[in-house]
Structure 1
Amino acid sequence: MRGTIPALGGFTGLTQEFIMGSTADKASGIANKAAGNVKEGVGKAVGSEQMQAEGKAQQMKGEAQKAMGDAKDKVKDIADKANDAVQKKL
């Protein structure tokens, strides 16, 4: 489902999937970061450099996912503010 943003000339690029995906991205990011932390710890405990590296990589993936969710929230906030400003002028 697409909504329009009058301030952007009826721009319809923000989909419900995009907006609702921010929560899923943040949740996945937190989960990956936690799992990666555990994997890195287990790797240290058993002396596996590969497992430690995989854990660090998973943590970085989690950080990136969370950042994507935060960015989607910011885009939505900006679009909402632009829409509100246009509605006030109408």
Structure 2
Amino acid sequence: MKAVISRFVAILILVIPGIVACFGFLQMKTATFDYFAAFGNDAVIPKFSWLTFIVGFILFAVGIGFIGGWIFFRDRKHNYVAPRFKKKRPRPNV
């Protein structure tokens, strides 16, 4: 039972940043779409909502960065990475 709970927690740790990244991407998409959609309406002067776009970009970057770091360190632990990314061993003092 303990293994099932620990795997469930591990899945949640990966799903939450994924949802955050998706929400950030949707915020950036919405800000861009609203700006370009306003060009079709002559009664409105198109304004780009920078705050929504920047918050969306930050959420997207944090979510993707967390997932990417998780995968990188897991692969480093199993020696699946290129030699330049492997942990450096200290040289013995002679």
Q: TM-score range by the shorter chain?
A: 0.5 to 0.7
Higher helix share: 1
From 60, 66, 84, the equivalent of 1:66 is 60
From 32, 37, 41, the equivalent of 1:37 is 32
Query: Which protein shows a greater Rg?
Result: 2
Give a deviation string over 1:36-90, Cα, whole Å, max 9, x none: 11333328x5126xxx25x2211111111110111111221133124425xxxxx
- The alignment-based identity, stated in percent, is 7
Ranges in structure 2 where 5+ consecutive residues have no aligned partner: 80-94
1:47 counterpart letter in structure 2: I
1:32 counterpart letter in structure 2: Q
After superposing on structure 2, the runs of 4+ consecutive aligned residues of structure 1 that deviate more than 4 Å are none
Q: Equivalent residue of 1:20, what SS? A: helix
RMSD of aligned residue pairs (Cα, Å):
3.0
From 71, 75, 88, the equivalent of 2:69 is 75
